[in-house]
Structure 1
Amino acid sequence: MSRLESMRRRLTAQIDGINWAATKIAETPGDVLEMGLGNGRSYDHLRQEVTDRRIWVIDRILKCHPSCVPPAADFLQGEAEPMLQRLIEGGHKMALTHYDFGYGVKEKDVEEGARLSPLIAQLISPGGLVLSQQPLVGLTQIAGPDTIDPERYLFYRAG
C-alpha cells in the first residue's frame, strides 16, 4: 500500500471514528480533547460533530490552518505530560479524547502512547471514549465502527 493510500485510510478512519464516537458519548458527561492539532483537520471535524462541548487542544506548537485555530483558552501549548497534568489538576473530565500525536516513527509513537496512557486514563469520564492511531495501555479496547480496520484505528472505553 502506498503512503497516499495509507493516508486516505487514516483520514477515512478518523472521520468515521469521530462520527461514531460523537453519537456514543451523547449521555457521557465531560469535554472533548484533541491531542495533536497539526493542520487542524480532525479538530475542525470535532467542532462540526460535537457542537455542545468544550474542545480542548494540546500541541507543541500552533501551526494549523487559520480557520482551525482553537480559542486561546482551550489551546494548551507545550509538551503533553504537563498539559495533561494541568487538565487533571483543574478537575477536567473528557467524554471523548482523540489521540493524534505522532513523530512518524512507529516505535517512538508507540512508546509515547504507552507513556501518556496513565494520564489519559485519569482524564476520561466513566464510559468516555478514546480514539487513537497508537496502542494505549490501561484502557479497555473496544470494537469501533465496522467501516474501520481494527488495526488501523483503535477505540477504548473508560471503565
Structure 2
Amino acid sequence: MSGTGERPILIPVAVDALMEAIDNETLRWTLRITRGDPLPSAPIERVRRCVVILGANLGTLIDRPMEVVPALIPHPQGGDYLGKEALDGVDAVLRLAGFHDQAINLLGLQEPSEEWLPESCHVCGRQLVFASLSESTVRCRSCRNVWGQDEFMRLNNPFLAA
C-alpha cells in the first residue's frame, strides 16, 4: 500500500458540475469560432484559452446562426440522455453569462442587496432590521413591517419624534 496519509480534499458536487459545464460550453463555442484549432488538454488551461478566444470574438459568437448541437437532456425519470438542442450565438452568450453568475454565487462574491442596521425595530424591539440597497426601504425580519428610510429614521429618533 502506498500514498500519503492525508485524506483527499473533496470538491463539492455543485462546484465540480459547474466547472465541467463551463469547460464543455466554452469548448463547444470556441471550436465553432476557431474551426477546430488545437487547444490545451488540461481543463483549466483549456478554459482560460477558450475564454480569451471567445472574448476576442464576441461579435462573431453573437452572430452565429441557429444550429443543432449535441446536449445532455434531463430525463423525466431521472438522469440524462444524449439528445440535441437548437442554439444560436445569443443562446451561447446567455448560457456563458449564466455560468458566470452561478460561479459568482458559488464563490459568495455577489454584491450585497441589503445592509443590517444597528437599530432595533420600534414595533417589536428586536434587532432584526435591514435596509434595502436597491430600494429606499427598511424592513424588520421579525415583525415584517416595512418603512421608507426617512420614515424609519424619524420613528427611531426620539428627538425627531417629539
TM-score of the pair, normalised by structure 1: 0.24
Q: Which has the higher contact order (CA 8 A, sep 6+)?
A: 1
- Computing the radius of gyration over CA atoms, which structure comes out larger, 1 or 2? 2
